[in-house]
Copies of this chain bind each other. A is one copy, B any other.
Amino acid sequence: MLIVQKFGGSSVADAERVMNVAGIVTRAYREGNEVVVVVSAQGDTTDDLIAKAKEINPRGSKREMDMLMAAGEQISIALLAMAIETLGCPVISLLGWQAGFQTNSTYSAARIKTVNSERIRAELDRKKIVIVAGFQGLNKYDDVTTLGRGGSDTSAVAIAASMRADLCQIYTDVEGVYTADPRKIPAAQKLDEITYDEMLELATLGAQVLNNRSVEMAKKYGIELEVLSSMKNVPGTKVKEVTKMEKMLIKSVAKDTNIARVTIVGLPDEPGIAFKVFARVAQAHVNVDIILQSVGRDGTKDITFTVDADAGERTVAALKELCENVGAKSVTYDTDVAKVSVVGAGMETHEGVAARMFEALSDKTINIHNISTSEIKISILINKEDADRAVAAVHAVFFEN
């Protein structure tokens, strides 16, 4: 079996952890598998490098920041390879470009164009464990790029897709995907399986288990993912197309408190006005989430939507000029809101999920500002202070009968 294993920065944070990862890798190898391992930079290395750069130049060019940051994975792959050497298995480490990662030229947020996995294949044929630097690639100018946030997950799935791997294991500091954040909800249960779509909805909800791009890519190429713990040798959560658990109405309750609510008051009620608003927002590279449009006074209307908290100011700035041009009254934003969502492919064919959710919140007298639904997700916007109570109430009604 060809397995791709990915370990994040906290999994290789120090010598002891690196040895632990070496143990996991060599176990899979000794069971007769071909093993390709993708590693992030050690957690403190990344912080150190950023600190060094900021001290010299708080606004260093992205090209040079990528050159700098890519040194982080170079260190961790070499260390992991040396750790595996001590366990007596043949091993070789490869940088992103050596492993065939070609990306576009958007420094600090590059997208993978292709993975030419010839070299990895050749090293596997020599019976070697192959350690690959995640998060990095090379653009058409032969310059080092990095993939941005969560990039190592994407690196792992890209290799799995390129090599048609049988399984892509994402090792993290949690044991899998839960019905809610287990640190907050003691009754949270680990899921055995979840579908790609459910995982995608969870990822956008701030449940930072898996990077979205990596799940999208896994879905596209049909790569089975497994999220599991690097510290505890127990099965994790499989992410795949169809799960045996479809009958389960919803899979998970999640909250996202890192959002801002932007409102445009008094827009003229005319055709195409919403298009103008969101075209301007898109121009500012802001992703919009929940949208609510309501009728205002005197033939005007209000549009409210949510964005990432750190995009709030930017969004308002982008809209200020537009508002003057179209004669809207004002643009405001606040961050005192939270989004709570339930996700589950099962709700497509079941009625009453929304009703049960709203009832649970009503019982706790939690006020709902906005509602947004998709086929497999219901999200509500509430006051930030109510977020934890809301998650507990919703989790209880669906999972704790």
Contact = CB atoms under 8 A, between A and B. Distances in A.
Interface residues of A, number: 37
B75 A61 contact: no
A86 interface: yes
Given A15-B52, A52-B75, A52-B79, A85 B57 contact: yes
Given A19-B56, A57-B82, A60-B81, 16 more contacts: A49-B75, A60-B78, A60-B82, A65-B82, A67-B74, A67-B93, A67-B95, A68-B74, A68-B78, A68-B79, A71-B74, A71-B78, A95-B144, A98-B142, A98-B143, A119-B142
Interface of A: 15, 18-19, 49, 52-53, 55-57, 60-61, 63-65, 67-68, 70-72, 74-75, 77-79, 81-83, 85-86, 92-93, 95, 98, 119, 142-144
A291 to B, nearest CB: 40
30 contacts: A15-B52, A15-B55, A15-B56, A49-B75, A52-B79, A53-B82, A56-B82, A56-B83, A57-B82, A57-B85, A60-B82, A61-B82, A61-B85, A63-B92, A64-B81, A64-B82, A64-B85, A64-B93, A65-B78, A65-B82, A68-B74, A68-B75, A68-B78, A68-B82, A70-B74, A71-B72, A71-B75, A71-B78, A98-B142, A119-B142
A82 B64 CA distance: 7
Contacts of A86: 56-57
Contacts of A98: 142-143
Contacts of A53: 78-79, 82
A41 B68 CA distance: 12
A70 B67 CA distance: 12
Number of copies: 2
Contacts of A65: 78, 82
Contacts of A57: 82-83, 85-86
* Max chain B Cβ within 10 angstroms of own Cβ: one of A55, A86, A144: A55
